[in-house]
Every structure is written in C-alpha cells, then in structure tokens.
Structure 1
Amino acid sequence: MQRAQVDALTTLIEDFNTLFIRLPMVQRLGFSALSVVHTLSRRGPMRLTALTTTEQLTQPAITSLVQRLEEDGLVERRPDPTDGRAVLVSLTAAGADVVRSRHANRVDRLAQLIAGLDASEQAAVAAAMPALARIIELGAA
C-alpha cells in the first residue's frame, strides 16, 4: 500500500473506532473500566502490574480503577498461586456478563449498519476480514 492509502486507512480506522466504541447501549462504564474488563475477558487473570502495561495507566490509576470495578462486582482480586505476595485480578460472572451483553449489542447494532450497505459493499467488508485479522496478529506479536 502507498503511504497515502495507509494514511486514509488510519483515518477510517480512527473514525470507525469512534463509532464502534459508542455502539453499545448497555452497561455504561468509562473507557478505561471497559478496557480493563475486556482485557481480562480475553487474557484471563492478570497482575496489577501487567494491567498497567496493557491499559497504559499508572500504578495508582489502575489500583483505583480495579478497586471501583471490584466494588461494582465486575472484578475480584485473589492471591497469585505462584507468588503469595502478588495479587491476580480476574473477571467475575457479572463482569463476564457485561462483556457478553456489550458484544451482543454491538453485533446487533453493527448488523443494522451493515444492512444499509449494498451487496458489493457487504462483500468488500467480508473480504477484508482475513487481512484485518492478520494485522491484529502482527500487532500482537
């Protein structure tokens, strides 16, 4: 791809992310709180120090955020079985329900938007999915 195309793609992704983040109409939580809940749903229990890295927050900020999520019943802290001095943060059943309901709501809302595309546009979106998945793999590596 040419740099101008990558620039245009970047803008499209930024605009799509802005739209996508706002799709769910259930369980209103702040962006950082939702990010922590979604990270734990995908990666499983994590130490606070690992969450500071994935969430790009300071130790005091992540500690405060996890405390609020714990008070809301969405996460819980448990001793790390491999290191008694450390704590693992994990998703509760209520936290997992938030992730599931937000995903289902996004699927419903995005399906409505995609239904507004013509058949060739829908096919183009479907054809781009493997390449987008590969970009995600490369970014995670």
Structure 2
Amino acid sequence: MSLTSAATLATLARTGPRRITDLAAVEGVTQPAMTALVRVMEESGLVERRGDASDKRITLVCLTEAGASYVRKRRQAGVHAFERLIGELTGDEVEALVAALPALQHLAELESQDREGPEQ
C-alpha cells in the first residue's frame, strides 16, 4: 500500500467521511490523483462512497470495516515497534523521552491541524 493510501485511510479514521476534494487537499495531491486512489481503495474494499444526507449533490468517502481494521492493525504494529525500541533505551534515555512527551504531543496536534486545514 502506498504512503498516500495509508495516510488517506488514517485521515478518514481520524476525521470521518470526507469529500474527495478535501482528501486531496489534506494529502497534498491533485483531485484526479485522489479520485484514482479512492477508486483503487474502493475496489480493495477499504473505502466506500456514500451520499451526504444533508446535501445529495455531495459524495463522501467513508472507511469500511476492512479499512478501519487495516488502520487499527497498522497503528498496533507501530506501537509494538516503539515498545521494542524503547525497551533498548537506557533509563536516562527513557526519562528524557518521557520529559519530551508533552512537546511531542503538541507537535502532533499542530501537524494534525495543518493537515486538516483551516476549516476544521
């Protein structure tokens, strides 16, 4: 799976259903590229398109259960990788990492705001 596909699935898991144009902007690709990507993910059963209940002209891309499961498994694999690596650190290094957690959390929040855009 491409990085853009994985990032798009993660965005949908984090923010819920989105328009293709919104996903393209968040992921930094063109609308035609996102349309093609969504088509491939749809054929793989990871996403589906649904009409927006509030505006029938709008089509939203939504995670399927298979897509949500993929995101969960990928996150869990990342957690396990970090657990293993942290286990190899010295006590002082672990303390330094713990002390840095608030700043790292703030960076993640800032990055998330940048990816979601000003309308969020």
Instruction: State TM-score, norm by structure 2.
Output: 0.89
Deviation at 1:49, TM superposition (A): 1.0
Q: Distance in 2 between matches of 1:70 and 1:114?
A: 37
Q: Is 1:106 matched up with 2:75?
A: no
Q: Distance in 1 between matches of 2:4 and 2:24?
A: 11
Q: Which ranges in structure 2 are unaligned for 5 or more consecutive residues? A: 115-120
Where does residue 29 of structure 2 map in the other structure? 57
Change (3 A) 1:105 1:66: same
| Structural RMSD (CA) | 1.2
SS in 1 for 2:49: strand
Q: Distance in 2 between matches of 1:137 and 1:113?
A: 24
* 1:1-141 alignment runs, 5 A limit: 29-139=1-111, 140=113
* 1:33-75: CA deviation from partner (whole Å, max 9, x where unpaired): 1011000000000011111110111111000000000000000
In terms of Rg, which structure is larger? 1
Q: Distance in 2 between matches of 1:133 and 1:46?
A: 25
Q: What fraction of aligned residue pairs are identical, expressed as a percent?
A: 44
Q: Distance in 1 between matches of 2:21 and 2:32?
A: 10
Q: Distance in 1 between matches of 2:46 and 2:54?
A: 23
Deviation at 1:135, TM superposition (A): 2.6
Q: Which ranges in structure 1 are unaligned for 5 or more consecutive residues? A: 1-28
What is the letter of the counterpart of residue 92 of structure 1? Answer: T
